[in-house]
Amino acid sequence: MPRLLLSHLLSRISVFKPDRAFSAQGIALRMALPLLAAALVLTPGLLLIHWLRAESSLYAWLLVSGVALGTGLAIAVWLGLQLHDEYLHTHDDLAQALRRRVVNRQYDQPLPVPASAATPELVAEINRLLHWLGQQQQDQADEKATLEQRAQEQDIALQQEINARRSAQEKLQKLARELDNSNRELAESLRLSQSADKAKAEFLSNMSHEIRTPLNAVIGVASLLDRSSLTERQRQQVGMIFESGKSLLRTLNDIMDYVRIEAGEITLDAFPFNLPDTLAAVFLQHREVAQARGLEYSLRYGEPLPKLFEGDGARIQQLVHSLIDNAIKFTHDGSVQVRINGYALHSTRYLMRIEVRDTGIGISAEQRDDLFNIFTQGDSSITRAYGGSGLGLAICSRLVKLMGGTLGMDSEPGQGSLFWVELPLRLYRDVTVAETV
């Protein structure tokens, strides 16, 4: 833009274009016209004076007038050419100086004012224009520098962001590879674990069968011997064999149940069963032991309940059997009470609540968290004092979860315990049972 403007200015002040008013002929003509007018005015006066002084003819007057006119023209032309040369030289110097500043972009250097007084205003205007162009150039340079600095800063920020994303991508790829390796290792470990669990289950199943067969024979022979004619000491020994065999058989059954539950191989039946008959059978199995300990032993219903339900009656018997067995085992005196309550969820489903309360040794708050874990009892000394495998409550907890129910307890050391089970059961027929069994 500045170069175009100054080029236009140079073209405006150029003295070499013939169509401009400042051509050589125009300047000479303008300089000669005043001199010619002066000659035309002075010549008649001079001739008149001469005629007054001396006699002369018309021819002499014409001769003198012509000489004066020619002399005036010659002088005017000479003066015009001198002024023309000075004007041309001045403007040529200005044009060359301006052209050098434009080419070199030296807008901060003003043009020198020539000695001639004909062009100071033009030089002053050109210098003001050069100063303005210099300011524009400086502003453009500053703006360019600012833009370049911003572009550089943006390039640096962009490069840093690219490096950060590249680093994050590399870390992500590394984590993905590590995760993939971990998944493969986990899958392999899971496969080995499942294979080991399957092998363990098969081994326990085979060993249980191998042990259960002769154990049933021992229990059967002991039962037959008990019915034969024996002395009192022999009958006690046969009873010990019979009870030990039954205890060992229960332990085997517990182990197999737990293995089958953990392997997901156990299934629940959904057949009609009689609630009072199912609970009474379990209750009566423990009555003799409870009476032998001198315990108050009872089974009660909180309110009239339907008699027939659909579900797995055998598993419910197993749950109640384990809870009653533990209550009697850990109670030396006092009572063991079994209480049954039910709440109608809707017309065809009941929430059955079975409570087993005892006045036994109780359980501390620290021991409750691990009570339903496998092979765990409240205290290691309990195993030595009362026996048991520690599988009963663990199996109960898992069976209750399979049935969609809840197993819980409340206990205080030395005050006894309350174990309760809530099971959702489907109603089979609307028949009630007596309040007390």
Does any domain span residue 102? yes
Per the structure, the count of domains in the chain is: 2
As a whole number of angstroms, the distance between CA 26 and CA 332 comes to 146
Name, in order, each residue with C-beta under 8 angstroms of 335's C-beta and a sequence gap of 6 or more: 295, 296, 297, 298, 357, 358, 359
Contacts from 140-143 at CB under 8 Å and sequence distance 24+? none
As a whole number of angstroms, the distance between CA 40 and CA 186 comes to 126
Q: Torsions phi, psi of 113, nearest 5?
A: -80, 125
- Domain boundary residue among 106, 123, 152? 106
Structure tokens at 98: 């301006």
Does any domain span residue 214? no
Residue with tokens 């009963």: 392
Question: Shortest CA distance to 80 belongs to which of 112, 35, 43, 45?
Answer: 35
Does any domain span residue 58? yes
Tens of each residue's pLDDT in the chain, 437 residues: 544 444 544 454 443 333 333 444 444 555 555 555 555 555 655 555 555 455 455 555 566 666 666 676 667 666 666 555 556 666 666 677 777 777 777 766 777 766 554 566 767 777 777 778 778 878 888 889 899 999 999 999 999 999 999 999 999 999 999 999 999 999 998 888 878 877 777 777 777 778 878 888 888 888 888 888 888 888 888 888 888 888 788 778 777 777 777 777 777 888 899 988 999 999 998 898 899 889 999 999 887 888 889 989 988 998 999 899 989 988 989 999 999 998 888 878 889 999 999 999 888 877 776 676 655 554 555 544 444 555 678 888 888 998 999 999 888 888 899 999 999 998 886 555 444 34
Instruction: Look at the alpha carbons of 127, 130, 135, 136 in this order and tell me if their dihedral is positive or negative.
Output: positive
Q: What is the pLDDT of residue 356?
A: 94
DSSP secondary structure string for all residues of 101-112: HHHHT-TTSPPP
Does any domain span residue 219? no
* Helices marked H in 24-119: 24-53, 58-104
* CATH (domain of 309): 3.30.565.10
Question: Shortest CA distance to 372 belongs to which of 264, 258, 273?
Answer: 258
Q: What is the pLDDT of residue 207?
A: 77
Q: What is the pLDDT of residue 421?
A: 94
- Domain boundary residue among 91, 106, 121? 106
Pairing mode of beta strands 296-301, 335-346: parallel
- Domain boundary residue among 89, 106, 123? 106
What is the Cα gyration radius of the chain? 64
Does any domain span residue 366? yes
Per-residue CA distances from 384 to 151, 254, 381, 393, 411 (Å)? 83, 19, 5, 18, 21
Question: Shortest CA distance to 5 belongs to which of 120, 154, 148, 107?
Answer: 107
Q: Bridge-partner residues for 429, per DSSP?
A: 308
* Domain, as residue range, for 352: 269-432
Helix (H, G, I), strand (E, B) or coil at 333: coil
Q: What is the pLDDT of residue 354?
A: 93
Confirm if 31 and 84 have CB atoms less than 8 A apart. Answer: yes
Does any domain span residue 304? yes
CA angle 378, 383, 384 (to 5 degrees): 135
Q: What is the pLDDT of residue 353?
A: 93
Does any domain span residue 291? yes
Number of H helices, E strands in the chain: 11, 7
One-letter amino acid identity for 377? Answer: Q
Does any domain span residue 289? yes
As a whole number of angstroms, the distance between CA 25 and CA 81 comes to 9
Question: What dihedral do alpha carbons 110, 116, 117, 118 form, nearest 10°?
Answer: -90
pTM of the model: 0.52
As a whole number of angstroms, the distance between CA 253 and CA 286 comes to 18
Question: Shortest CA distance to 353 belongs to which of 245, 254, 275, 243?
Answer: 275
As a whole number of angstroms, the distance between CA 181 and CA 191 comes to 15
Residue 436 DSSP one-character state: B
Confirm if 335 and 297 have CB atoms less than 8 A apart. Answer: yes
